[in-house]
């Protein structure tokens, strides 16, 4: 996403605040929406305006460093030759120095003796094009009062504050503007005035008027709290029809968002994400600011806190929000007054990017050996490794802690439990450009560098380069074009960073092993003598386009019966036509009863993969395993148990369940707990021309054996193209149901050249990439989009062939 580099300084001098900002160059942003209903972000031509481009708040995953969140922002101008771009670094936080009078006022509010809203600044001078300078009088603020005890916590009609450790510098403060004004973009203060003579500007009858608290969604980011503002406060143009200007909580930036992608703040339980709240400092700050304003509008008084735990301090506010903002509800959240001005509702943030208290060393009562965790920063970790010759395997490569629970799958070093859970959850999370969403090393990072190898989709954060490789490594990498990441460069030591020579094996072990859950090994069946083998009977749930049946026939299995549950009519049409009516369709899986299974069975193989919409963390509105389509997993679990042989029946019985890798770690563990086994992770990139990482649970023989390509697999994109077409890339990113998922690289190029011009992948080429026969989905006058959706929901044929091959020792083959 294009970004505007700016430097800003806010200093207190002589009792006044002066703000200066310098914008380097112009910035423009293409529309990111796929349809008219998608949200849009618009960065107009800045000209001389000191306001930065309207951008969404950055959901960058903060690096865990002893539990503390350290906001680090790089504002260094990049060299002209650098073509790298930064992502997840739009969370530009002003490093603000307040004068002593302001600090006194802030501490008064923390003690509960003042309102939580920031006092108005002194009189200021406004400069606006075409007008003469003028001064506006400001009401004087109350005189500072003695500083209260920081260890106390009082909450009165406002937010909750956490005590700050005396050993930690004060948390930087941000300010959020919320007002309908016509102030100049070149004002020397961040406050603006009210325009009382302006008629309502949003007249499309879609609701969401100025001052309303909302949840907003723009492409590439999760749902985020914001407030509807006038276009005048943004310093940009008027909003298009059906659009709203939003100011995001957390960083105060602006975006133009479709009204169709807004929802009332009353929908807090629907859009609030606990996982993001736990891991992202920017998200915590935004939620806290929104709740603070909601509490002020509703005149909500919270009881005084009884503990110093920051988590307990905000628990009451979250419970209030999840409970519907009682007693006033939606009425309490409305802006006050007809011509409501926000000039007195500008407040600062001082909590939720808190520093937790120092952990006490605890003795492990279950072991004779005392377990004490040593706290190291990553800089200290590098010093211990390079200077004191300590093994890097003793440290968490992501945060520097010494309580390591497992190994890092790609580089020498370990991972603590917290970083392991994060790595499991988001290491296979990709952005729209096909690159990893977060750093390959730490699964965090505000600014990342993208690998210049066209076949690599990895990125590395600036912090990991400067700390692990060496100071200045990131700046050196930015100059190189193309820059190749440390997985593509020769396997050697780069500072403290060294690639594992067996990383491909370790990566598989990392996703298979879960120290938190150990299960008994699945029952192993002895091979059936050739003369006693019989045709296989299959129950396929969420069958899709009959990939299971296709692979069984390709491997030569005799299929006695294939019962398939599928609700998509296009998928059913493909199965019926391509397999000549040999598949018996039973439609909705929820309507299948135990009695029907007894009539159709017994079954030898049960397979399926429930929809991943509400499980994938890529979906910000996901509902999880227990709601929405996530609940369909339990239909698989129910029918699997019903189809299993009764006790005393020793006939071979196998099953396979598939789902996306980029799911919440808790959802993954819950699925494993029900299925009583840990999954294996298989990426189709090793046997096809496309990335496609998936979890597979099951008891098939040799599921965790290495994935090896066969002679019939097409490993390069060029092998999948029609005659006369040239592949620009060796491999392509994960192909989904979305039409733009075939675009490749940071510049979003189409992957094929034809007659000297870029071109999309044809449907026959997509079928080859997935391993299907050519024209497999070409029927019923289906268009290209419909065929890609069928393929995007399907399994990779070479992967399923790899999993089904060992079954030839158990069932009859032709």
Q: Catalogue the active-site residues.
A: 612
Burial of residue 387, with CB atoms counted within 10 A of its CB: 0-12 exposed, 13-18 middle, 19 or more buried:
exposed
Cβ 763 vs Cβ 784: under 8 Å: yes
What's the number of CA atoms in the CB half-sphere (13 Å) around residue 171?
23
Q: Which residues contact 207 (CB under 8 A, 6 or more apart)?
A: 259
Tokens of 647: 């006790």
DSSP string, 668-724: HHHHHHHHTS--EEEEGGGTSSB--EEEEEE--TTTTSPP---TT---SHHHHSPTT
* d(C-alpha 543, C-alpha 448), whole Å: 39
Dihedral (C-alpha) 479, 481, 484, 486: value to the nearest 10 degrees?
0
Tokens of 215: 């949840």
Dihedral (C-alpha) 238, 242, 247, 251: value to the nearest 10 degrees?
-110
DSSP string, 241-279: TTEEEEEETTT--EEEEEGGGEEEGGGHHHH--HHHHHH
Tokens of 346: 């500008």
CA 109-113-118 angle, 5° bins: 30
Tokens of 255: 């975006």
φ and ψ of 111, to 5 deg: -80, -5
* d(C-alpha 164, C-alpha 153), whole Å: 11
Which string of b and e fits 575-589 if b means at least 16 CB within 10 Å?
beebbeeebebbeeb
β-bridge mates for residue 694, sequence order = 660, 682
3-state SS class at 508: helix
β-bridge mates for residue 659, sequence order = 695
* d(C-alpha 577, C-alpha 530), whole Å: 32
Tokens of 169: 């510098």
3-state SS class at 1: coil
Tokens of 39: 């949200």
Q: Quick one: angle between helices 665-675 and 632-643, nearest 10?
A: 20
* d(C-alpha 675, C-alpha 658), whole Å: 12
Pairing assessment for the beta strands 243-248 and 406-407 based on DSSP bridges? unpaired
DSSP conformational letter for 68: B
3-state SS class at 172: coil
Tokens of 660: 């996306």
Cβ 678 vs Cβ 514: under 8 Å: yes
* d(C-alpha 478, C-alpha 482), whole Å: 9
Cβ 507 vs Cβ 680: under 8 Å: no
* d(C-alpha 755, C-alpha 686), whole Å: 30
Pairing assessment for the beta strands 680-683 and 693-698 based on DSSP bridges? antiparallel
Which string of b and e fits 227-239 if b means at least 16 CB within 10 Å?
bbbbbbbbbbeeb
- The secondary element (H helix, E strand) that includes residue 418 is helix 417-426
Cβ 522 vs Cβ 778: under 8 Å: no
Pairing assessment for the beta strands 584-585 and 559-565 based on DSSP bridges? parallel
* d(C-alpha 202, C-alpha 196), whole Å: 16
- The secondary element (H helix, E strand) that includes residue 285 is helix 281-298
């Amino acid at each position: 996403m294009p970004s505007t580099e700016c430097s800003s300084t806010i200093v207190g001098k002589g009792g006044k605040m002066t703000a200066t900002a310098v914008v380097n160059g112009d910035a423009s942003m293409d529309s990111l929406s796929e349809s008219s209903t998608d949200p849009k972000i618009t960065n107009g031509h800045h000209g001389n305006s000191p306001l930065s481009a309207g951008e969404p708040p950055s959901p960058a995953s903060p690096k865990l460093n002893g539990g503390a969140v350290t906001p680090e922002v790089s504002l260094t101008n990049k060299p002209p030759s650098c073509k790298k771009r930064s992502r997840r670094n739009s969370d530009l936080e002003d490093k603000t120095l307040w004068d002593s009078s302001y600090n006194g006022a802030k501490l008064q509010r923390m003690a509960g003796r003042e309102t939580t809203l920031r006092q108005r600044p002194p009189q200021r001078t406004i400069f606006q094009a075409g007008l003469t300078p003028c001064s506006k009088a400001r009401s004087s603020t109350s005189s500072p009062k003695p500083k209260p005890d920081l260890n106390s916590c009082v909450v009165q009609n406002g937010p909750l504050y956490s005590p700050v450790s005396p050993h930690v510098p004060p948390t930087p403060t941000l300010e959020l503007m919320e007002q309908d004004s016509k102030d100049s973009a070149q004002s020397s203060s961040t406050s603006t005035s009210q325009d009382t003579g302006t008629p309502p500007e949003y007249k499309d009858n879609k609701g969401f008027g100025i001052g309303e608290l909302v949840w907003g969604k723009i492409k590439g980011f999760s749902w985020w709290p914001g407030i509807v503002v006038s276009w005048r406060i943004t310093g940009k143009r008027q909003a298009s029809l059906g659009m709203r200007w939003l100011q995001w909580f957390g960083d105060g930036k602006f975006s133009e968002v479709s009204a169709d992608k807004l929802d009332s703040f009353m929908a807090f339980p629907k859009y609030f994400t606990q996982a993001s709240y736990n891991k992202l400092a920017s998200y915590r700050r935004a939620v806290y600011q929104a709740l603070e304003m909601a509490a002020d509008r509703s005149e909500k008084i919270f009881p005084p806190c009884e503990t110093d735990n920051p988590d307990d301090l905000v628990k009451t506010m979250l419970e209030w929000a999840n409970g519907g903002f009682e007693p006033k509800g939606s009425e309490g959240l409305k802006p006050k007054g007809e011509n409501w001005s926000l000039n007195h509702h500008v407040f600062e943030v001082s909590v939720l990017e808190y520093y937790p208290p120092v952990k006490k060393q605890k003795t492990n009562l279950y072991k004779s050996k005392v377990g004490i965790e040593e706290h190291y920063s990553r800089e200290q970790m590098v010093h211990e490794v390079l200077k004191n010759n300590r093994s890097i395997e003793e440290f968490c490569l992501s945060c520097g802690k010494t309580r390591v629970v497992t190994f890092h799958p790609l580089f020498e070093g370990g991972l603590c439990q917290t970083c392991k859970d994060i790595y499991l959850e988001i290491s296979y999370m990709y952005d729209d450009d096909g690159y990893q969403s977060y750093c390959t090393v730490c699964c965090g990072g505000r600014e990342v560098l993208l690998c210049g190898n066209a076949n690599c989709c990895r990125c590395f954060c600036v912090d990991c380069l400067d700390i692990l490789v060496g100071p200045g490594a990131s700046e050196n990498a930015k100059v190189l074009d193309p820059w190749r990441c440390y997985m593509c460069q020769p396997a050697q030591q780069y500072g403290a960073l060294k690639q594992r020579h067996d990383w491909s094996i370790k990566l598989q072990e990392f996703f298979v092993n879960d120290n938190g859950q150990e299960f008994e090994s699945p029952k192993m069946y002895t091979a059936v003598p050739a003369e006693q083998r019989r045709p296989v009977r299959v129950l396929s749930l969420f069958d899709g386009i009959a990939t299971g049946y296709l692979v069984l026939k390709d491997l030569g299995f005799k299929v006695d019966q294939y019962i398939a549950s599928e609700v998509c009519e296009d998928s059913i049409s493909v199965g019926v036509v391509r397999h000549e009516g040999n598949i018996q369709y039973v439609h909705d899986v929820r309507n299948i009863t135990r009695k029907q299974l007894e009539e159709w069975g017994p079954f030898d193989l049960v397979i399926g993969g429930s929809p991943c919409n509400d499980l994938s963390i890529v979906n910000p509105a996901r509902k999880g395993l227990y709601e929405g389509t996530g609940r369909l997993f339990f239909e698989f679990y129910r029918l699997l148990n019903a189809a299993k042989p009764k006790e005393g029946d020793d006939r071979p019985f196998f099953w396979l369940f598939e789902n996306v890798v980029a799911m919440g770690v808790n959802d993954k563990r819950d699925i494993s707990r029900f299925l009583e086994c840990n999954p294996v992770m298989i990426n189709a990139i090793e046997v096809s021309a496309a990335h496609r990482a998936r979890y597979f649970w099951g008891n098939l023989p040799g599921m965790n054996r290495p994935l090896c390509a066969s002679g019939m697999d097409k490993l390069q994109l060029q092998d999948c193209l029609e005659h006369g077409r040239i592949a620009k890339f060796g491999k392509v990113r994960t192909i989904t149901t979305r039409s733009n998922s075939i675009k490749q690289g940071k510049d979003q190029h189409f992957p094929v050249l034809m007659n000297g011009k870029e071109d999309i992948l044809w449907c026959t080429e997509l079928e080859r990439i997935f391993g299907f026969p050519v024209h497999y989905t070409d029927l019923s006058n289906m268009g290209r989009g419909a065929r890609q959706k069928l393929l995007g929901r399907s399994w990779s044929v070479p992967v399923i062939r790899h999993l089904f091959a060992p079954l030839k020792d158990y069932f009859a083959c032709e």
